[in-house]
Amino acid sequence: MKRAGLVYFAGFTIISLGLLTGCSGSSNAANTSAGSNASGSGVKIGGVVQNASDPFFVTLMCGASKEAEAEGATMTWKPTNSTSIQELQANLDAVSLTNPGGILMSGSGDSSYNTKIQSLQQTGTPVVVVNVPVIPPVEYAQITSSSDNTDFAHYVAKDIGHGGELGILGGIAGAKIFTSRYQPVIDALGKVAPDVKVLPVQYDDVDRTKAASVASALIVAHPDLKAIYAVSGPEGAGAAAAVKQAGKADKVKVYTYDATPEVVQGLQEGTISAALAQSAYRIGQEGVKAILDYRKANPGTTPVMPDASKNQTIPLKILTKENVNDADSKAFQYVSTCN
């Protein structure tokens, strides 16, 4: 899922703060050239993401690594296991020292990395930002999911029905990307079901265990609780687990962003009513393609300029029990390991 200054990677045999090459943790996977005719033959790509334990980023990194391997490029990751912008900045510095032909990195939603990005691009290294953009946009290109969740907001508002109370798990306080995920639901309820009482937003740092604890407290404190809306997969999974443990699956609905493996299972079982999913794999793929296309057209060290025409917005999809097993829904589901 998009994350604000944090992003979600597990299952790649991560060595904390160490360089990780390829998709399986083996240095042979991405280093194997696809041949001299491959568009990425000989190109080294560095990847940097935060909070390397989330299936969203497992899937994104898998898509990027597989695309690089298919094109004969070398994909080397240096992820962090926290949400620290400072750690990601340090890893970005470390990756830049390897003289990559391009860098794929998660954004912060602000200007935290802009000075470094501009410095890299002045020396001819294109930086493609994925998941959350940097502001202002100084990178060569950005590949992000659509931010239009209007359809999902109205789906949730109508599905909840009238009366009762709605609890919201809002990720991290002050994170605009998360506010943009729950505020439309509040607005839609005001129009469709104004008699639903929206409880104060709760924050759990996008942590499944904390989300389960917060959801449990909401269930106990609010007998009229009708639904819980979560802004991320870990929170949705935690909320569903709490509802199930409380024996309230038939009374309290759960809605969430992101189709993590646990969320998909919840959709199949009916403990989660709906999820708004991103195509994380495709985001990774398109990020690598953008770098390789640039390198093919610009093999030298000419300064890289931002090119908004190369930006891509990847569509979202609402998943429910009825469509989660459909073939066209698979591209929107995340994985816990990259095979």
pLDDT at 38: 62
Q: Is the pLDDT of residue 232 over 80?
A: yes
Question: What whole-number distance in Å separates Cα of residue 306 and Cα of residue 143?
Answer: 13
pLDDT value of position 40: 77
- Checking if the pLDDT of 15 tops 60, the result is no
In eight-state DSSP terms, residue 328 is G
Q: What are the b/e assignments for 19-56, b being 16+ CB within 10 Å?
A: bbbbbbbeeebbbeeeeeebebbebbbbbbbbbbbbbb
User: What is the CA angle 125-126-129, rounded to 5?
Assistant: 135
Reported as a single tens digit per residue, the pLDDT across 25-40 is 333 333 333 333 467 7
Residue 21 pLDDT exceeds 60 = no
Q: What is the mean pLDDT of residues 151-178?
A: 94
Q: Classify the C-alpha dihedral 215-318-23-116 as positive or negative.
A: negative
The token duo for 95 is 């990756």
pLDDT, tens only, 247-303 = 999 999 999 999 999 999 999 999 999 999 999 999 999 999 999 999 999 999 999
Q: What is the pTM of this model?
A: 0.85
Domains of the chain by residue range: 20-145+279-314, 150-277
Q: How does residue 9 score in pLDDT terms, banded at 50, 70 and 90?
A: very low
Which pLDDT value is given to residue 25? Answer: 36
Q: Compute CA distances 268 → 78, 227, 265, whole Å.
A: 34, 18, 5
- 150-277: CATH, from 3.40.50.2300, 3.10.20.30, 3.40.50.140, 2.40.160.40: 3.40.50.2300
State which amino acid sits at residue 218. L
Please give the radius of gyration of the chain, using alpha carbons only, rounded to the nearest integer: 20
CB 48 within 8 A of CB 91: yes
Tell me the percentage of the chain whose pLDDT exceeds 70: 89
DSSP code at position 329: G
Fold of 20-145+279-314: Rossmann fold (3.40.50)
Cα-Cα-Cα-Cα torsion 22, 117, 130, 21, nearest 10 degrees, comes to 10
d(CA 52, CA 131): 14
In this prediction, residue 110 carries a pLDDT of 87
Residues in the chain: 339
Mean pLDDT over 217-243 rounds to 98
Domain 20-145+279-314 and domain 150-277, same fold? Reply is yes
How far apart are the C-alpha atoms of 270 and 113, rounded to whole Å? 41
126's tokens:
């294109």
Question: Per-residue pLDDT averaged across 167-191, rounded?
Answer: 93
- Whether 97 shows a pLDDT value over 70: the answer reads yes
Q: What is the DSSP letter of 41?
A: T
pLDDT tens column, 42-87: 999 999 998 777 899 999 999 999 999 999 999 999 998 877 889 9
